[in-house]
Structure 1
Amino acid sequence: MAHPCGRKLYQDFHAFDLPGATRVLEWIGDKGVFVAGYEKLKKNEILHLTLPPRLSVNENQGLFPERDFKVCHGGFSDRSIFDLKHVPDTRLLVTSGLPGCYLQVWQIAEDSDVIEAVRTIAVHEKEGSLWPRIAIFSSVAPGVLHGARLSGLEVVDLESQKVTYTSGVSDREELSSLQVLDADTFAFCCTSGRLGLVDTRQKWAPAENASPSPGAGGGRWCAEVRGQGPGPSIASLCSDGLLCLRDPRDLRRPVRSVRCPVSTPSPDPELLRVTWAPGLDSCLAISGFDGTVQVYDVTSRDGMEGHVEPLFTHRGHVFLDDHGTGAAPLVTTHTWHPHKSRTLLSAASDTSVHVWDWVDLRASR
């Protein structure tokens, strides 16, 4: 995939096909990843895959299809899996999906290649078409944070299954994402754009923004908090392409709001995703609008005021679609490699998974 000017866009690019489309790309270490199907009315596979050894080689591999993801472990779920979290330092996974009246806990076998369901965690609010968002408190006694609405937010101890924290409020705002920040705090984002930071050592009194972001219509939102780095560290993304950056010390108004040049409002806001690059202080990626993943430098002032141009756009899911369906695939999720600063994984509705290492063209200017 060459640049019109002959400049190389990718340091590395590998394409794979899964048995079914996934909304899950969950790292285990820096060479393993979990995927899980989300189709209705069928058994969906949960797979623990390891990346090909050549992805660990530093020299350039060029662009060519690879089909040697290795399946280490696998299992089957009777439900659609919309989210999966690995519990650090254990062989446990937690999944959420539809029907959403419970979470499932899975164990990765030590002496076989099986991932098996070992227990369920009840969800007290029966929400019908809603499913609980999940995040993991990893400590000596790991806990699962879950909830479909603010009113149902709770933390459950994985071992004892006792509830160790609840929001204790009647607020029925629908959640789009949950993120554990440290041993005592987590962040939530509601579909309305409402953001909050919660300290579980206190009664429910989140630091939050009072209203949706200025310039936002009636779209749905998602958000992610950056672990470390300078400047604003909370990024929230609207289904119409509005991107807002906030400082956690003052959530009331964005430090910066820009409109990303997306082709169309997200056709499925459930797939909307914004992620901070763990190895690059000022970069984030967005997807869920079409068959692309866009990378931005949040310090960039390129373009007109209020608009921002992507630093890089991965169009591989569009260009490599050879299924002849006529409908372009939609990116279902993406994730940054935990240690390779410009390497990402992305998955699309056509069952493709790409591993790609993009080139910052600014370095060659």
Structure 2
Amino acid sequence: METEDEWLVLSLRLYEDLHTFELQAPTRLLEWAPGNRVCVAGYGQAGGNEILRLLPPPSLQAKETQSLFPERDLKVECGGFSNRPVYSLKCVPDTSLLVTSGPPDSSLQLWKVSAEDSDVIKPVSAIPAEKGQSWARIATTAGRAQWVLHGSTPDSVHITEVESRKNVYVAASRSSEELSGLAFLDCNTLLLCCAKGQLYLGDVRQPQGPLEAVSVPWAPGGERWCMGAGHIAPGSAPSSQPIACLSSRGHLTLTDVRKTSEPLASAKCSIPSPSCGAEFLCVSWAPALEGCLAISGFDGTVHVYDTRSWDSSARTPQPTFVHKGHVFGEQASNGDPPLVTAHTWHPQKPRTLLSAASDGSLHIWDWVQPGGMCG
């Protein structure tokens, strides 16, 4: 393992761009907002968690020369305060609304970004909780601009029209397994992933239709799982979307939504140790690089993989790139090193990612492309 000084020297040749910032409080979400803004929010159990919309540095707006900038180019555009932890946040497309969720229940909070002459994000209303449910996973889609998909278990999944708060879809399921994620695959199809690895498909054109349970032979007992849905290339059919499922022991399976019971490829990622709680486990597909994905939540690193050469046999591939910057952050009061809590890809810049860690560090980075890898 390199020292911090050695890593900084290596950074000059490993990164096209690297920006490091310190947030007032750590975030477990990084959500892109219109105009290349980035939303973050605190997840502390005490009241007064900030919700911020940030302006990223100029290099994310237009290509500039290589830069290694310590915190100075990230600006707070507007913000607000939540009296509860914020575990998830999504922008409602074509509106100035945000929707958030977090403990202690599955209710959703709606927020409005005020007019241009104000710097305040204001609470406007709430979508009530399902009785006895934990915090809800949420998703939105540009295909249904006013809809939010939410739920903490398959039998609590709803789609709600945001402004009217009317239910437009209720999943018919008897499963009360904990959900680790959900997503719109297109404007009519939704995908759910349970923490134990089960997958479910739903069709919003059947408002009371049953969820379709998908056979998942890759989910051995004792592991927690999360999923990441791939991006649809322009002109491609929604059914061509790849799905990546990642376990707390580093098992990674790629599948086609048309045949989820037959994995396209499987691998055992090189991780230092299993992620026991899997609280921050994350896998995501690059929107502008074919076959490229990133994983985090095991330690203070983010691993990037090029899956184009993978096959159906289990193996241990080497990552294309490993971002180690958070490893050198401040240790927590209990002596634990920083843990990556979230990462996300830039929607247009192919090799640019944002990552955040439990010490409040926020990094924006674009790695130097080795010949023929990820792009």
| Unmatched 5+ stretches in structure 2 | 1-5
* Residues 1:264 and 2:273 are matched in the alignment: yes
Query: Identity of counterpart residues, as a percentage?
Result: 47
* Residues 1:299 and 2:303 are matched in the alignment: no
State whether residues 171 and 211 of structure 2, in contact with CA within 8 Å, keep that contact through their aligned partners in structure 1: no
State whether residues 235 and 246 of structure 1, in contact with CA within 8 Å, keep that contact through their aligned partners in structure 2: yes
Q: Residue 279 of structure 2 aligns to a residue in which SS?
A: helix
State whether residues 265 and 310 of structure 2, in contact with CA within 8 Å, keep that contact through their aligned partners in structure 1: no
Change in CA separation of 1:197 and 1:279 when aligned onto 2, cut-off 3 Å: same
Q: CA deviation at 1:209?
A: 2.5
Q: What do residues 33-73 of structure 1 show as CA deviations (whole Å, max 9, x unaligned)?
A: 00000000231000010012244342333323132311111
Q: Name the structure 1 match of 2:125.
A: 119
Q: CA deviation at 1:225?
A: 1.3
Q: Residue 90 of structure 2 aligns to a residue in which SS?
A: strand
Q: CA deviation at 1:140?
A: 6.2
Q: Name the structure 2 match of 1:331.
A: 340
Q: Name the structure 1 match of 2:90.
A: 85
Q: Residue 317 of structure 1 aligns to a residue in which SS?
A: helix
Q: Residue 111 of structure 2 aligns to a residue in which SS?
A: strand
State whether residues 208 and 252 of structure 1, in contact with CA within 8 Å, keep that contact through their aligned partners in structure 2: no
Give the counterpart of 1:34 among 32, 36, 39: 39
Q: Name the structure 2 match of 1:362.
A: 371
Q: What do residues 306-364 of structure 1 show as CA deviations (whole Å, max 9, x unaligned)?
A: 11111100000013x14685421000000000000000000000000000001222359
Change in CA separation of 1:51 and 1:141 when aligned onto 2, cut-off 3 Å: closer
Equivalent pairs, count: 359
Matches within 5 A, 1:163-182: 163-182=167-186
Q: What do residues 229-270 of structure 1 show as CA deviations (whole Å, max 9, x unaligned)?
A: 597711000010000000111111312111000011114312
State whether residues 201 and 214 of structure 2, in contact with CA within 8 Å, keep that contact through their aligned partners in structure 1: no
| Unmatched 5+ stretches in structure 1 | none
2-structure distance, mates of 1:108, 1:98:
23
* Residues 1:226 and 2:230 are matched in the alignment: yes
Stretch moving more, 253-262 or 201-210 = 201-210
Q: CA deviation at 1:272?
A: 0.5
Q: CA deviation at 1:207?
A: 4.2
State whether residues 283 and 297 of structure 1, in contact with CA within 8 Å, keep that contact through their aligned partners in structure 2: yes
What code does the residue aligned with 1:204 have?
Answer: G
Q: Name the structure 1 match of 2:324.
A: 315
Q: Name the structure 2 match of 1:209.
A: 214
2-structure distance, mates of 1:293, 1:188:
24
Q: Name the structure 2 match of 1:159.
A: 163
Change in CA separation of 1:3 and 1:347 when aligned onto 2, cut-off 3 Å: closer
Q: Residue 269 of structure 1 aligns to a residue in which SS?
A: coil
State whether residues 277 and 285 of structure 1, in contact with CA within 8 Å, keep that contact through their aligned partners in structure 2: yes
Change in CA separation of 1:82 and 1:257 when aligned onto 2, cut-off 3 Å: same
Q: Residue 213 of structure 1 aligns to a residue in which SS?
A: coil
Q: TM-score, normalised by structure 2?
A: 0.89
State whether residues 16 and 66 of structure 1, in contact with CA within 8 Å, keep that contact through their aligned partners in structure 2: yes
Change in CA separation of 1:270 and 1:360 when aligned onto 2, cut-off 3 Å: same
Change in CA separation of 1:208 and 1:250 when aligned onto 2, cut-off 3 Å: farther
2-structure distance, mates of 1:240, 1:258:
11
Stretch moving more, 47-56 or 268-277 = 47-56
2-structure distance, mates of 1:327, 1:100:
28
What code does the residue aligned with 1:175 have?
Answer: L
Change in CA separation of 1:170 and 1:322 when aligned onto 2, cut-off 3 Å: closer
Q: CA deviation at 1:143?
A: 1.2
Q: Name the structure 2 match of 1:9.
A: 14
1-structure distance, mates of 2:45, 2:332:
23
State whether residues 93 and 145 of structure 2, in contact with CA within 8 Å, keep that contact through their aligned partners in structure 1: no
Q: Name the structure 1 match of 2:3.
A: none
Q: CA deviation at 1:228?
A: 2.2
RMSD between aligned residues:
2.4
